[in-house]
A and B are shown apart, each in its own frame.
Chain A
Amino acid sequence: MKVVVCVKQVPDTKGGVKFNPDGTLDRAAMLTIMNPDDKAGLEAALRLKDQYGAEVTVVTMGLPKAEEVLREAIAMGADKGILVTDRVLGGADTWATSQTLAGALRNLEYDLIITGRQAIDGDTAQVGPQISEHLGIPVISYAQKIEIDGDSVIVERQYDDRYHVLKAKMPCLITALAELNEPRYMTPGGIFDAYKAEITTWGRADLKDVEDSNLGLKGSPTQIAKASDKVRKGKGEKVTLDPSESVEYIMNKLKEKHVI
C-alpha cells in the first residue's frame, strides 16, 4: 500500500503571534511549523504504515526552506520526502497550487493521498478537493476516522450536526481534521535518519501533464485586489469593582445597549 501525504509549512500562530505597535501582525517575528491538519494527515498515514506496512511519501510545495517540514516528517517515520519548488510556481492561488501538486502526484504511485483539511495561514480548505478533481479520483473531506477494508477505505466524514460513514474504492483523496489523532513525536533515531535522508527536489520540468498557463501567479484565476493586516478592534473599558458594583455596571451597559 502506498500513501502520499501533502504537507505545508506555515507560520506558527500558536503562542508565537507577535503584533506591531499598531496592532498588525509582525510576520518576521514568527516561527514556522508543519500545518496542524497536515500533521494529523501524516500521523494517519504513519498508522497505516504501522498496521499494514504502507509506504509513506511526503510532498510539499514551497520555498527551498520548506525542506524542513519534510525532514520533520521523516523524523516522525515517513519514508521519503519530495520538495516541489520553482520560481515559476510562486504566487499561486489554490487553482494553481492544486495543479502543481497534481502534476507532481502524477509521477507517483498511490492508493491514498492524504492532505490536511486546511492550512492555518490561508484557511481555504480548497487545495485537497481541487487536487482530487484534477486527478479524477474521489475525495472525502473532513475525515475524523480512517480505516482500510480490502481495496476500499472507510472514513468518518464530519458535518455540522452529524457524521457520515463513507466507503470509497482506492485510489482516493482524504482531507484530515486535526482532531483525527494526536501526532507522534519525532524519535531520536528518526531525527538521525532525517538528517541523513536525501530529499528529492522537483521543479517545473518534473511536473506531469500541466500547462504553464495553469501555474504560478499567471496561472491563478484569483488575484489580490487589496490586502492589509487587520487593525484590531480597540480596547473598550476595563473596570475593577466589587461584585455587586460589577453586576450593576454590567446591567447598566446591557440596558444602555437595549439588550434587556
Chain B
Amino acid sequence: MNLEEYKGVFVFAQQVDNKISGIALELIGEGKRLAEKLGESVTAVLVGSDVKGLADELAAYGADKVIVVDDPELKEYRTEPYAHALSSVINQYKPEILLVGATAIGRDLGPRVSARVHTGLTADCTSLEIGDFPINPIPGKEQKHNQLLMTRPAFGGNTIATIACPDFRPQMATVRPGVMQKLEKKEGAKAVIEEFNPGFTPNNKYVEIVNIVKNLTDTVDIMDAKILVSGGRGVGSPENFKILEDLAQAIGGTVSCSRAVVDAGWKSKDLQVGQTGKTVRPNVYFAIGISGAIQHLAGMEESDIIVAINKDETAPIFDVADYGIVGDLNKIVPALTEQIKAAVAAKN
C-alpha cells in the first residue's frame, strides 16, 4: 500500500428515504475542519437511488466535491450493495480519511467496508484531530506526522482511548451523531459533482427486503433534542409522566426515560437514554426520579447542564448533576412548570 497515493477527506453522506441524515452534514463540517489542517478538500459520497438532486444540499453545508453512486439496487439500505459502492469509491479515489456516521447503518457498513479494503476502523468516535503518531517520539520508532487521531469512549464511557491507523489507508472512523458541528448553510454554494457507478450484480451476499415497518410515533428523536426531560422509575406510573410532558412542553423540550421505565413497559425503547439506549448530550438534561445507574450515566453525562430531582439524597445521579435537588418530584415538577410558563409568557 503506497500511503502517499491517498489524499483528501471523504465522508459517507447517509440518506434515508432520499432525505439527507443530520450526521452527513455534521461529518462534512468536521471533515472540512480536518481537511483544512491537511491542505486538502472534503468530498461527500452520496449513495442511493435517484439521489443526485441531494448533492446541492451537501454543497450548501460545505462539501467541495460530491461523488454520487446512483443505482436502483441502492434504493433501501442493504449491507452488500452499499459496501460495494463505498469500497469501490475507496479503490477508485483513494481517500486519506473516510468518516462514516455511527448510526444503525454506518455501524454495519463501516466494518464491512474496512474489512473489504483492509484498513483499520475506529468505532463511535467523539473527537478527531490531526497530529503525530506516536504522540511523543519513541527512540527507534518513526514518528509519523499528519495522522488522524481518533478518540472514543469505551466501557460504557468509563475509559477513553485515542487510536491511530498509521500504516493503512484510508484512516476510517465511525463518528457518534450529535457530537460534531455542521457548518452554517450557504445557499447556492456549488460543489463539483461526479457520478460513479461500479456496477451492481446481485450475488449470495444480497439479502431480500421482505417488508419495511416504520415506527408510527412521530416524536422528536431524543438525540436531536436541545432539552430533555427524562424520567425514571421514581416517576411512579406511566400516567404520572404527564407532569414531565407538561414541563417539556413549557420549556420546549422532549421527554426521555431510563431503562427501568422501558423495562416496565411505561415508555417505548426509542426514548431510552443509556448504554443500551441512546447517548444524548442536550444543553439541559432534567433527570427526574432517576437514580443514575452507571449505564444511564454513560448515556447522558456529557450533557451541558444536568438538573437532578430525586428524593433519595444518596442517588448516584447527584454525582454528575450540576444542580441536584433532594425533594419530592410530584411537588416540585408541576410548580416548576407553572413558573416556566409564567417566565416564557412574560418574555413574549
Instruction: Report the minimal beta-carbon distance from A139 to chain B, rounded to whole angstroms.
Output: 6
A28 within 8 A of B: no
C-alpha spacing A162/B344, complex, angstroms: 36
Chain B residues in 8 Å Cβ range of A246: 309, 325, 327, 332
Q: List 17 A-B contacts (CB under 8 A).
A: A13-B155, A126-B111, A129-B108, A129-B115, A133-B116, A137-B204, A138-B205, A159-B105, A223-B164, A223-B165, A225-B162, A226-B135, A226-B162, A229-B158, A232-B319, A236-B321, A249-B325
Q: Are B221 and A250 in contact (CB under 8 A)?
A: no
Instruction: Report the minimal beta-carbon distance from B247 to chain A, rounded to whole angstroms.
Output: 10
Instruction: Report the minimal beta-carbon distance from A6 to chain B, rounded to whole angstroms.
Output: 14
Given that A122-B154, A125-B107, A260-B251 are known contacts, is A224 also in contact with B332, CB under 8 Å in the complex? no
Instruction: Encode contact with A along B207-243: 1 for CB under 8 Å, 0 otherwise.
Output: 1111111110000010000010000000000000000
Q: Are A138 and B207 in contact (CB under 8 A)?
A: yes
A240 within 8 A of B: yes
Q: Are A120 and B121 in contact (CB under 8 A)?
A: no
Q: Are B205 and A225 in contact (CB under 8 A)?
A: no
Instruction: Encode contact with A along B110-124: 1 for CB under 8 Å, 0 otherwise.
Output: 111011101111111
SS class, residues of chain B in contact with chain A: mixed
Interfacial residues, chain B to chain A (CB-CB below 8 A): 76-80, 83, 103-105, 107-108, 110-112, 114-116, 118-124, 133-135, 149, 153-168, 204-215, 221, 227, 251, 269-270, 275-276, 283-284, 294-295, 301, 305-307, 309, 313, 318-328, 331-332, 335-336, 339-340, 343-344, 347
C-alpha spacing A237/B343, complex, angstroms: 24
A85 within 8 A of B: no
C-alpha spacing A130/B109, complex, angstroms: 10
Q: Are B156 and A123 in contact (CB under 8 A)?
A: yes
Chain B residues in 8 Å Cβ range of A232: 301, 319-320
Give 14 A-B pairs besides A94-B121, A133-B111 with Cβ atoms closer than 8 angstroms.
Answer: A13-B295, A98-B115, A123-B124, A127-B111, A138-B207, A141-B107, A159-B77, A223-B165, A225-B162, A229-B159, A239-B325, A244-B335, A246-B309, A247-B332
Q: Are A238 and B343 in contact (CB under 8 A)?
A: no
Instruction: Report the minimal beta-carbon distance from B330 to chain A, rounded to whole angstroms.
Output: 9
C-alpha spacing A160/B120, complex, angstroms: 26
Which of B79, B165, B284, B344 is A222 in contact with, Cβ under 8 Å?
A: B165
Given that A25-B159, A129-B79 are known contacts, is A221 also in contact with B323, CB under 8 Å in the complex? no
Chain A residues in 8 Å Cβ range of B209: 164-167
Instruction: Report the minimal beta-carbon distance from A19 to chain B, rounded to whole angstroms.
Output: 9
Chain B residues in 8 Å Cβ range of A122: 123, 154
Given that A95-B114, A129-B111, A221-B167 are known contacts, is A237 also in contact with B323, CB under 8 Å in the complex? yes
Which of A123, A161, A163, A238 is B123 in contact with, Cβ under 8 Å?
A: A123
Q: Are A154 and B210 in contact (CB under 8 A)?
A: yes
A184 within 8 A of B: no
C-alpha spacing A195/B292, complex, angstroms: 38
Instruction: Report the minimal beta-carbon distance from B169 to chain A, rounded to whole angstroms.
Output: 10
Chain B residues in 8 Å Cβ range of A127: 111
Q: Are A141 and B163 in contact (CB under 8 A)?
A: no
C-alpha spacing A16/B105, complex, angstroms: 32
C-alpha spacing A158/B284, complex, angstroms: 29
A201 within 8 A of B: no
Which residues of A from 50 to 99 have beta carbons under 8 Å from B? 93-95, 98
C-alpha spacing A133/B211, complex, angstroms: 25
Which of A236, A244, A248, A251 is B340 in contact with, Cβ under 8 Å?
A: A251
